[in-house]
Chains A and B, each alone.
Chain A
Amino acid sequence: MKQIRVVLLALVTVLLATHVFAAKIRHVDEIQALPENQDERGLWNIASGHENNIGNEGRIVRDREMEAYLESIAQRMLQGRLDHLDIEVDFIVVQNNILSAWVYPYGTVAVNTGLLTGMENEAQLAAILAHELSHFMQRHSYRELIADKRQSFVGKGLGLLATAAVASQTGQVNTGLMNVGGLWTDLVTSGYSRKNEHIADAEGLELMAVADYDRAQAIKAFEILKQNFAYGVLSPSLLWSSHPTLDDRLKNLAKAVEKEKKSKTYKPGKVPDSDAYYRAIAPAILRTGMQDLREQYFARARGAFVKYAKARPADARGHHLTGETLRLEAPDGPDLGPRIAAYTAAVETDPGYAEAYKEIGMAQRQQGNADAARAAFEKYLSLTPEAVDAGIIRWYMAQM
C-alpha cells in the first residue's frame, strides 16, 4: 500500500506540474514572438523536416496562382492578426486524394488535392482552413506534444527529438529509431485532443464570420468529410475526418451555428459561387482526377475531369481524360457513345489533340464503323505522322 501511495503522489505531482506549465502556452494574439523558446524551435524543426520530406518526394503541387488564392482566403479571415509576429501564413498543396489538411507549428497549412476537390465552394474550404489556422494560433501542437509531454509514444519521442533538433538546426534528426518526418506524420494522423478540436472548431467559426462566410457551410464541409471517410483509405487514421468524435463535432457545430443565428448581431454570411471556386483550384482537380484514374476509381476520376473541363473550358485534357475513364472502366462498352462524345469534345476544344482522334478511331473500329474509324485515324496520323504506334494504326486501317 505504501508503494501505491508513493506512486499516486508522484503522479499527482507530475500532473500538477504539467498543468502549471501548460497554462503558460498562450494564444498567438497574446505573445510578441514565435517560437517562444528552444523547445518550440525544436518542434518547428521537426515539422519542417516533414514538410521537406514531402517536397523531396515530389508530392507538392506547385501552382503560384492557386497558392495565392488560398493565401487570400486566410488573409481575409485573419485580418492582419499575425502582423505583430512577422509571420505569414502560407500554403502547400499536396498530391494526395485523401480529404485531409494539417498545419505546421510555424503557420504553413498543407492541403491535400483531394480535400480541395471534395469541397463544393470557397466557404466550405474556408471552414477547414479556419480550423487549421486556429490550431496554429492556439499552438496546439506545441501545447500537446512538448509542453504537456502527452503520455504517448509520439509525445515522448517528440520531446526527446525536439532537443536534438535544436542542436542540429537541420530538421533532419536521426535517432536510430525513426525519422522526424515519421514523427510528424504520427502527430498529424493521431490528431489533437477532443478539447482542442472543439476549441479549433469554435474559433474556426469566428474566423469564418470575420471573412463573411456562411457558417452553415462548415457543417456541409464536415458532412463531406464524413461521406468520404472510407474512400480509398487504407488506414482511417490517415483522414482529417478521423479526428476524434466527428459526429460530436458536427452536432456541436450545428448547435453553435443555430445559437449564432438567434443573436441580435447575427449577419448571415455569403456562399461564394462554386464555379469560381473550381476555377481557382483547377490544377488540384486535375491532379485528383489523374490519381483516381491511376488507382482505378473511375467514377470519382470522371467527376473530377468533368469539373475540370467546366473550370478550364479551353483545356481539352478534361474532355480527353473523361473519355479515358469511360474507356478504362468499360473497355467493351457496350455503349461507346459517351466515350466518343468526350473525345469529340476534346478535339472540338483543341483540333490539334491527336490522342483524342486516335481514341475516336479505336472506339469507332470497335463498333464496326469503318468509315468513321478511318477518318479519325487519318486525322491522328496527319497530326502525328511520327507517332510511335503509327505503324499499328495503319495496320488497323488496312484490316478494315
Chain B
Amino acid sequence: MNHRSMPVWIVVVAVFGLLGAPAASAASDSPYLIAKKEFKNRIKSIALSPVIAHETLNLSSSMQSLVEAEASARMNKTKLEVLGIEPYAQLRATMIEQIGGLRTADGVVDPRREASVLDHTKREMRHRHQVDAFAQLSIRVVRAAYADDRAEWDGIKQKVAKSGDGFALFGGPNYQGTIGAASFQLAIYDRSDQLLYLNRGGIEVLQERQGDSLVLIDESTYLQDEKRLKKAVQLAFKGL
C-alpha cells in the first residue's frame, strides 16, 4: 500500500462505520416481527383485548379504564378498522365464569385456568369476528437496568428512591444490576396466533433501595400515576 492510498481506506472505513451503526441499531429496535410493509398489507382490521395486569400489581378498575381508553384512542388513530375492547372483555368474562374463576380455593391464580381462558377466548373471538389481528394489552412485571440509583427500561428512565445510607458525604458504593419494574405491553397476533408486533413502554419501578438491599415499594402505590400510564401506552404504540 502506498502513502496515497492509505487516507482513502481510512475514509472508506469511516463512512461505512457511520452508515452501518444506526442501520444496525434501527433494525434490532423495530417492534415488528415481520416486515412493516407486509404487516400493513396483511392487517386491515384488529380487535382489542382488555388490559390484563400481573396480579401483584392490583390494577384498579379506574386505572384499567384509563389505560384501555388511551390504547383505544391510539389504535383508532391508525388506519386499521378497530373492534373495541367490549366484545373481547365480555367473552373473557364469560369464559372465566364458566371455568369457575381464575383462582383456586387458596385464592391463588391458577396458570392452567388462565391459559385455558386465554386459549378459548381467542378461539371464540376468531369464530365470531372476522378481524385480521388481535391486540393483547397487558401490564407486566419486567427487569429494568439499574445503576447509580437510576433505572432505565422500555423507553423511560426513573430515579430510584433510596434510604439507609446514613450520613455518607461522598456517596456510597455504586450499585448496579436490575430492578423490578412495570411496563405496558402491546402484542399483536394474526389469526394463526403468529406474533407480528411487540412493543413495551415503561411505567414505573416497583422497588427502592434500602442500604444495600432492594425492597418492594408499598403495593398500594402501584399504577396510580395517570401520566406515567398514558406515556407507557404511547411508547408501546410508537411505530404502529
Which A residues lie at the B interface, using CB under 8 A?
296, 328-332, 362, 366, 388-389, 391-392, 394-395
Number of interface residues of B (CB under 8 A): 19
List 6 extra interface pairs beyond A329-B192, A388-B113, A389-B99, CB under 8 A: A328-B193, A330-B192, A366-B127, A388-B116, A392-B120, A395-B94
Q: Say whether B112 faces chain A, with CB atoms less than 8 Å apart.
A: yes
Contacts A331-B123, A331-B126, A362-B123 given: A391-B100 contact, CB under 8 Å?
A: yes
Q: B120, A328: Cβ atoms under 8 Å?
A: no
A362-B194 Cα distance, complex, nearest whole Å:
20
Checking A296, A366, A388, A395 against B112 with a beta-carbon cut-off of 8 angstroms, the contacting residue is A388
User: Closest B-chain residue to A329, C-beta based?
Assistant: B192
Query: What are the interface flags for B102-120 relative to A under an 8 Å C-beta threshold, 1 for contact and 0 otherwise?
Result: 0000000010110011011
A296-B194 Cα distance, complex, nearest whole Å:
8
Contacts A331-B123, A389-B116 given: A394-B98 contact, CB under 8 Å?
A: yes
A222-B119 Cα distance, complex, nearest whole Å:
42
Q: B120, A332: Cβ atoms under 8 Å?
A: no
A332-B126 Cα distance, complex, nearest whole Å:
8
A interface: dominant SS: helix
Q: A388, B99: Cβ atoms under 8 Å?
A: yes
A-B residue pairs in contact (CB < 8 Å), sample of 23: A296-B194, A331-B123, A331-B126, A331-B191, A331-B192, A362-B123, A366-B127, A388-B99, A388-B110, A388-B113, A388-B116, A389-B99, A389-B116, A389-B119, A389-B120, A391-B99, A392-B95, A392-B98, A392-B99, A392-B120, A394-B98, A395-B94, A395-B98
Shortest CB-to-CB span from A15 to chain B, Å, is 22
**A residues less than 8 Å from B191 (CB atoms):** 331-332
Shortest CB-to-CB span from A60 to chain B, Å, is 27
**B residues less than 8 Å from A366 (CB atoms):** 127
Which B residues lie at the A interface, using CB under 8 A?
94-95, 98-100, 110, 112-113, 116-117, 119-120, 123, 126-127, 191-194
B interface: dominant SS: helix
Shortest CB-to-CB span from A315 to chain B, Å, is 24
**B residues less than 8 Å from A389 (CB atoms):** 99, 116, 119-120
Contacts A388-B99, A389-B120 given: A328-B192 contact, CB under 8 Å?
A: yes
**A residues less than 8 Å from B126 (CB atoms):** 331-332
User: Closest A-chain residue to B130, C-beta based?
Assistant: A332
User: Closest A-chain residue to B114, C-beta based?
Assistant: A388
* Cβ-closest 6 pairs across A and B: A391-B98, A389-B116, A395-B98, A392-B98, A388-B116, A388-B112
**A residues less than 8 Å from B192 (CB atoms):** 296, 328-331
A249-B117 Cα distance, complex, nearest whole Å:
54
**B residues less than 8 Å from A394 (CB atoms):** 98
User: Closest A-chain residue to B190, C-beta based?
Assistant: A331
Shortest CB-to-CB span from A356 to chain B, Å, is 16
A362-B124 Cα distance, complex, nearest whole Å:
10
Shortest CB-to-CB span from A308 to chain B, Å, is 22
**B residues less than 8 Å from A391 (CB atoms):** 98-100
A329-B193 Cα distance, complex, nearest whole Å:
9
Shortest CB-to-CB span from A369 to chain B, Å, is 14
User: Closest A-chain residue to B195, C-beta based?
Assistant: A296
**A residues less than 8 Å from B120 (CB atoms):** 389, 392
A346-B95 Cα distance, complex, nearest whole Å:
28
A331-B120 Cα distance, complex, nearest whole Å:
13
A257-B126 Cα distance, complex, nearest whole Å:
56
Shortest CB-to-CB span from A364 to chain B, Å, is 13
A392-B119 Cα distance, complex, nearest whole Å:
11
**A residues less than 8 Å from B95 (CB atoms):** 392
A366-B126 Cα distance, complex, nearest whole Å:
10
**B residues less than 8 Å from A388 (CB atoms):** 99, 110, 112-113, 116
Q: B193, A392: Cβ atoms under 8 Å?
A: no
Counting chain A CB atoms within 10 Å of each CB, which of B94, B98, B113 scores highest?
A: B98
User: Closest A-chain residue to B110, C-beta based?
Assistant: A388
**B residues less than 8 Å from A395 (CB atoms):** 94, 98
A296-B95 Cα distance, complex, nearest whole Å:
26
User: Closest A-chain residue to B94, C-beta based?
Assistant: A395
A362-B116 Cα distance, complex, nearest whole Å:
14
A24-B94 Cα distance, complex, nearest whole Å:
76
A362-B119 Cα distance, complex, nearest whole Å:
12
User: Closest B-chain residue to A391, C-beta based?
Assistant: B98
A296-B33 Cα distance, complex, nearest whole Å:
13
Shortest CB-to-CB span from A7 to chain B, Å, is 14
A237-B123 Cα distance, complex, nearest whole Å:
39
A391-B100 Cα distance, complex, nearest whole Å:
7
**B residues less than 8 Å from A296 (CB atoms):** 192, 194
**A residues less than 8 Å from B99 (CB atoms):** 388-389, 391-392
User: Closest B-chain residue to A362, C-beta based?
Assistant: B123
Shortest CB-to-CB span from B85 to chain A, Å, is 21
A395-B97 Cα distance, complex, nearest whole Å:
10
Counting chain B CB atoms within 10 Å of each CB, which of A332, A362, A392, A394 scores highest?
A: A392
A32-B193 Cα distance, complex, nearest whole Å:
58
A328-B191 Cα distance, complex, nearest whole Å:
9
A391-B101 Cα distance, complex, nearest whole Å:
11
A331-B124 Cα distance, complex, nearest whole Å:
11
A330-B100 Cα distance, complex, nearest whole Å:
30
Shortest CB-to-CB span from B165 to chain A, Å, is 30
